[in-house]
Structure 1
Amino acid sequence: MRRTRPDRTARPAAPAPGGAAARQAALRLLTLVLAERRLLSDAAPVLAPLDPPDRARAQRLATDTLRGLARADALLAPLVERRPPMPVLNILRLGAVELAHGAAAHGVVNDLVGIAGRGKRTAGARGLVNAVLRRLSPDAEARWADLPAPRLPKWLRGPLVRAWGAETVAAMEAVHAMPPPLDLTARGDPAVLAHSLGGTLLPTGSVRLDGAGQVSALPGYDAGDWWVQDAAAALPVRLLDPRPGERVLDLCAAPGGKTMQLAATGAEVTALDLSDERLGRLRENLARTRLPAEVVVADALTWEGGPFDAILLDAPCSATGTIRRHPDLPFARSGEGLGDLIGLQARMIDRALALLGPGGRLVFCTCSLLPEEGEAQVRAAVERHEGVRAEPPEGAWIDARWSSPEGGLRVLPHHWAGRGGIDGFYMARLRRA
């Protein structure tokens, strides 16, 4: 195919107000992830100067680009003679993704040519950006649709194929390539919330919205009627089944989605986390939803408390189950340190069991796709602790595909693919004698 040479005579039009600001911020986010190998959760300083709509748009543009990075590169490859430097390449990638998603070519091209012209490292490529994106725009959507879903990086794909098989991993990758819907947990009746927001009530009780836009602008946000929480992340509390008046401990509680679920049941909740900064978000969420919990800043491995009737341990993990919502993770992580995480998880299970009263129950969960951070941990914990057993879960909300032989629940992203997918999660309920 013919390759496009830079059009050095092109001059950018004035950027559209607002649109250029969000696109510029999205490019900074791409640099954060692809050049600095950091997560988008570190992006607060980049987004702080923007107003809420532009902030939401910048995040969406960056996540869409990361989710479709391999596809964008495939679209661009025939149109450039050699791979440009990363700052220029990221401008082209962002433009390719926007055009492939149906954005107006005039606004995309003019804004990105203007951004290129203002950058010290990209000014010389202004003509290239203009020429490539204009050449791409007529058939970007059709060509994008013909491209396969991006594959997971080797450090993750190999272990997952060994664990679940190539066909299952390919199904996960197909879901990862789709923009995820927004899931909410209701403080009150989820059916009422679904009706009021025009959402879908999922079998597990979460409310799912498509194309929700800016979260804080949705009805009921300021009133604390709901909080954002993926449907899979809401399952461990259902498995724990807390009851009014029970003493319940939420270990590794921040940012607080599960804490709010626990508090909404009427349980007496203690929310513990090592990070006071992250607990700040939890306190804000509790204040917004007007739900009570005792908040404790402490190390879960050394904190003295209890005994508790029930404990929820959402342990630190690789977070590989959240890639459909966090496509930055495969680029910012490399699989290093997994052994340390697995060791930490085992120690936290041991400590949590020690904080339970007789007959108490512990739900251990991780948002990981790796059996080493799920099924293997539960089997090992039962072997280490006499009198501790895994209780097979029951309930009409449980999808039959989730049942795992050792007594837990294994949720994979391609489950509910027809509904928009779901995060990967593992959870099991352990009972002390």
Structure 2
Amino acid sequence: MHDIRLIRDNPQAFDTALARKGLEPHAATITALDEARRALTTRQQEVQARRNDLSKQVGQAKAAKDEDRAQALMTEVASLKAELETLTLSQGAADEALRDALAALPNLPADDVPEGKDEDDNQLVHMRGTLPDFTFEPQEHDAFAPALGLDFETGALLAGARFTLVRGHAARLARALGQFMLDTLTSEHGYEEVNPPLLVRDDAMFGTGQLPKFAEDLFRTTDGRWLIPTAEVSLTNIVREQILPAEVLPLRFTALTPCFRSEAGAAGRDTRGYIRQHQFDKVEMVSITAPEASEAEHERMTAAAEGILHALGLPFRRMKLCAGDMGFSAARTYDLEVWLPGQGRYREISSCSTCTDFQARRMNARYRNADGKPAFVHTLNGSGLAVGRTLVAVLENYQQEDGSVAVPTALQPYLRGLNKLEPA
């Protein structure tokens, strides 16, 4: 959510920032709604003040036994009361109209975010790791992973397209990956492990920006709750409606959860394999910081995700997303893209974003700053990592010519020393 005062004070700058995300100007509409709301507030105050004054005069007239004047004043007081009731209804509608207009607009890009419309305009920050050198033609995971336990056919039979039954070696490897990620983030990077609800209310989805814009991309239950598309929703909303002591910041949370996405806008994309699923596991990172600390926290969070890729021996690159390719709540986003030799290209495996105070305003999440006054916190989130895509990356980068897969050294303790997965 945006600070209406910033739009009011500098509408041109607001529209210029929206244009960087490919949006039409909205400042004039927002300020008109704001002016109408403020005019109603002013009129309410005037009517209430007049009513209070007349009420005193009624008492004075009655004390003076001037019944005619008292009756005339009481009639006017009643008229003002009726007007106040009408104004209150109008004020509520005006508040809601302004809130809805603001809620529909994305966060503004940070000044250092590159210009651009889509992924072709994203900026390479750095590349890490060495691409594997195969003595054979590497395959995509869906060609050899079924023999290791990625059962696409049974998953589709049970639940439909974009569901996979993971069994045997693949299930063990996925469990090892999730555990390794959690252990790394908690023991090396100071994240607190959380086991959050997978079902949340409307307010939680609104707080992190999934609602109202992305309702069609979500799964809703019959009792009106939502299946989380990412643990970001549950973890970030831990601080909703709170005023935190400054000394507890930063807060860092992590969770390994299933995630559920309808992928309504992704028809025809990655219909094969395990890249884009309706249900998948992901380790999420969330940080809650004071505003002055969020820049450094963004770098810290992204480096934590990179450290996991480095430990797994997976080549990757960091991309800074352009303004037109960023998510709704993000002010700046780094995508980590892992090399998939079967596809011969890099694919996103983690997205780390700073949302500044955008989500905090939607959640009313604040802290007491140095002068003791409440101020909005900054929120950040990132994948550390997407387990399914990391599983695919391990399978493709460590595949052997005979269909087996070497186990990265970092994962072998989680598999009781097993160093190779053999096809069934």
Q: Which has the higher contact order (CA 8 A, sep 6+)?
A: 2
TM-score by length of 2: 0.26
Whose radius of gyration is greater, 1 or 2?
A: 2
TM-score by length of 1: 0.25
Which structure has the highest strand share of the two?
Answer: 2
